[in-house]
Amino acid sequence: MSALSQDKQDRLDALYREVERESQTFVGYPCTCVFDYSELYRFLKFPINNVGDPFAPSTYRVNTKDLEREVLAWFATLTHADPEAFWGYITNGGSEGNLYGLYLARELMPEGMVYYSEDTHYSVSKNLRMLKMPNIMIRSLPTGEIDYDDLRETIRIHRDIPPIIMANIGTTMKEGIDDIAAIRKILRELAIHRSYIHCDAALDGMILPFLDDAPAWDFAAGVDSLAISGHKFIGSPIPCGIALAKKSNVDRIARSIEYVGTLDTTVTGSRNGITPIFLWYAIQRYGVEGFAAAARRCLALAQYAVDRFRSLGIEAWKNPHAVTVVFPRPPEEVLRHWQIAVKDDIAHIICMSHFDRALIDRITDDVAHALQQEAQL
């Protein structure tokens, strides 16, 4: 293979400098920039492919399924799944994990109706269109969590149809957490005997398990499947995630594929075999205590950001257990510079592991200055 021409090399160098520069002002999305997987770069020279079921052998043996299963077992323990009765796989991210949960629910209850709040991640409505699943959007409370009165009344009207609940464990803009106990209470009171609850825990699935006062949200709370992102709180150069479900449900949809000598139980055929190494490596290095310390630090930084905004006259707020800080939408130049996500009249920053107080001071000063200038126009 010949070397790149100088102009192509210059283009790559320029791209590297641009990405490096933009990562310094990356504050509006829930992905940490603090990780070092340089020890693992040697694996990039192999066509690693975890095709098919992680728990089944395959004739394609250039894979990392052993590490994938260890990662899944770690998350199963973290989310109180039955160690003898869970199944899962490492996905390309939270959207795929949600797609899998909905797909599984549809196969189990093809006549079911999906309920999700208006604050649910945009990928869910797309997934529902792909799967052609009947669905009803439920109102949200100001906190971002689902409106339980609206959910109750809507399910009551359609109580002859099995409900499939897409619960949010940390909504996109406000990090609102749906109350699983309250949802299950509604189902009991309406005498609903067939239902399915999937949890989108993309961000908070790696925060709540490490907090002493966190609400119950996982398999111990009675959910049927869940999705957690790997590239958000843990950190990864490649988007990835974890889908976990009850094995008895997954067994009902498994198909044997002779070509690769394994079971087809996932959304994709070929699957990334590199990210299981990243996640395994991070788990070995940090462990529960390391992630718990990181979660507490990020929560403290988020509270510092709220206090700093308010000291500057800006009505910022956050939910309990949240690292997302919500504040009034600032002018476009601030949004663009800091890569801040917005919806309607609100904006947010998400205090991840690459944050510190100095960074928060710079962000809050810029937002305050821009809002003051806007008010004077």
* pLDDT for the residue numbered 359: 98
**Residue 19: exposure state from Cβ atoms within 10 A (0-12, 13-18, ≥19):** exposed
- Encode pLDDT of 213-261 as tens digits: 999 999 999 999 999 999 999 999 999 999 999 999 988 776 644 444 5
d(C-alpha 35, C-alpha 246), whole Å: 31
- Encode pLDDT of 258-286 as tens digits: 444 557 788 888 899 999 999 999 999 99
**Amino acid identity for residue 36 in this structure:** D
% residues pLDDT > 90 (the chain): 90
**How close are the terminal C-alpha atoms of the chain, in Å?**
59
Q: 40-283, which class in CATH?
A: alpha beta
Is residue 34 a contact partner of residue 24, using CB atoms and an 8 Å limit? no
* Mean pLDDT of all residues in 306-317: 98
**Amino acid identity for residue 192 in this structure:** I
Residue spans of the domains in the chain: they are 6-34+287-376, 40-283
- Encode pLDDT of 63-121 as tens digits: 999 999 999 999 999 999 999 999 999 999 999 999 999 999 999 999 999 999 999 99
- pTM score, whole prediction: 0.94
d(C-alpha 218, C-alpha 81), whole Å: 8
Q: 6-34+287-376, which class in CATH?
A: alpha beta
